[in-house]
Amino acid sequence: MNMAARKKHKRNAATVSEKDVDAALSVLRADYYSDVRGVAQDLARAMKEGEVDEFSDALHEAVDGTQRVIYTYQARVGLICTDNQDAYVEDFGEVPLENGNIKWEAMMFVAMEKDVVEDLEAHDVDVNDPDSWPEIDLKSWD
């Protein structure tokens, strides 16, 4: 980086305030939790319509297909946003590694599953009671 570029970089970096960072994080969290809500809504609809036999299998499939889990960048951003960033370590005891590299996608997968379950439960969905699923109120997400 040449001297002029370094000066410009320093000048730009100095103009970012804590308020700016908080605003940026707020937007990222809103985007992440919008994704979580979308997965929860789709899963709730499938549960209500009798398309789900085993909740944990349906949850795994729903979360595994998201961009948050497929792409490393999206996984890392999601882990900044979630309240469950430590879920993988809590469940398995250590950070997932492959060839010495952190498997961000695996960490995001476990965190997002917990976030989806929390969203379902916040909308009075009992994920452990299939008999209650036909009564799920899909309008509660509106």
Instruction: Tell me what the mean pLDDT of segment 37-60 comes to.
Output: 97
| Residue 137 covered by a domain | yes
Place of tokens 């889990």: 69
Nearest alpha carbon to residue 75 among 91, 89, 60, 63: 63
Q: Catalogue the E-assigned strands of the chain.
A: 97-98, 101-102
| Residue 7 covered by a domain | no
| Residue 131 covered by a domain | yes
Cβ count within 10 A of residue 29: 16
| Residue 42 covered by a domain | yes
- Please report how many Cα atoms fall inside a 13 Å half-sphere around the Cα of residue 86, on the Cβ side: 2
Our count of domains for the chain comes to 1
If pLDDT is split at 50, 70 and 90, which confidence band does 142 have? Answer: confident
Write the pLDDT tens digit of every residue in 74-129: 999 999 999 999 999 999 999 999 999 999 999 999 999 999 999 999 999 999 99
| Residue 116 covered by a domain | yes
| Residue 17 covered by a domain | no
Write the pLDDT tens digit of every residue in 61-70: 999 999 999 9
Whether the model clears a pTM of 0.85, i.e. scores above it, the answer is yes
Decide if pLDDT at 4 tops 80: no
- Dihedral sign (CA 30, 35, 36, 37): positive
| Residue 18 covered by a domain | no
| Residue 85 covered by a domain | yes
pLDDT of residue 13: 59
Q: Which residues partner with 140 through β-bridges?
A: none
Range of the domain at 97: 25-141
